[in-house]
Amino acid sequence: MDSGSSKETRELLPVWLTHAAIMTTRLEDSVDFYRDILGFRLRIIEDDPIRKGRRRAMMADSAGRDVVEIIEMLEMAHPFIPGRGGIHHIGFSLPAREWHSLRSRMDGRRYPYQEVERRLFVRDADGLILEIEISSPASGGTSASEGTPSSTESAAAAAEAPSTEPAT
């Protein structure tokens, strides 16, 4: 869909991402990654109230908002293919100081990542790609840089790179 070719002007709806739901076969490992590496707060691990017979974890940001729901789906386990979820990547932004701190924390733990155009690409316990960029104060906290690849282009480049297993 090419929004530039439309002569019709539409008002943008006040829509924002409330959370990302991630399917995992390793709930505890995923919680460890999002809490210990990325710095989210574990709010709860519980029986999933929507998907009966499953467990889920809710991870909160520094303001206490649930932003990542991790759903345990053991039937996705495959002996040779990790990360069989339906999400290509999830994008986050951090202020510069916290971004550099995260990069240092991953370096200190020898946790593999790629840095592309001031964006970190890292895989969680199931191989899901996370893009973490430096937020821009001029754009209201979201990153928007002219001349740098789009999130999709950067994530695609990271996805094409050889997969490395996180250090344990």
pLDDT, mean of residues 139-160: 39
* Pairing state between β 55-60 and 66-72: antiparallel
User: Do 49 and 100 lie in a common domain?
Assistant: no
Tell me, yes or no, if the pTM score tops 0.85: no
pLDDT, mean of residues 67-93: 76
Residue 133 Cα to chain centre, angstroms: 11
pLDDT at 160: 40
Question: Is residue 37 within 8 Å of residue 105, measured between CB atoms?
Answer: yes
pLDDT digits (tens, 9 = 90+) for 86-127: 576 888 888 888 899 999 999 999 999 999 888 899 999 888
DSSP 8-state code for residue 151: H
Looking at 54, 76, 98, the residue that finishes a domain is 76
pLDDT digits (tens, 9 = 90+) for 7-60: 567 776 565 566 888 888 889 999 999 999 999 999 999 998 877 889 999 999
User: Do 91 and 168 lie in a common domain?
Assistant: yes
User: Do 93 and 168 lie in a common domain?
Assistant: yes
Looking at 19, 51, 76, the residue that finishes a domain is 76
Residue numbers of the domain that contains 53: 10-76
pLDDT at 75 over 90: no
Residue 94, classified by CB atoms within 10 Å of its CB into exposed (0-12), middle (13-18) or buried (19+), is buried
Domains of the chain: total: 2
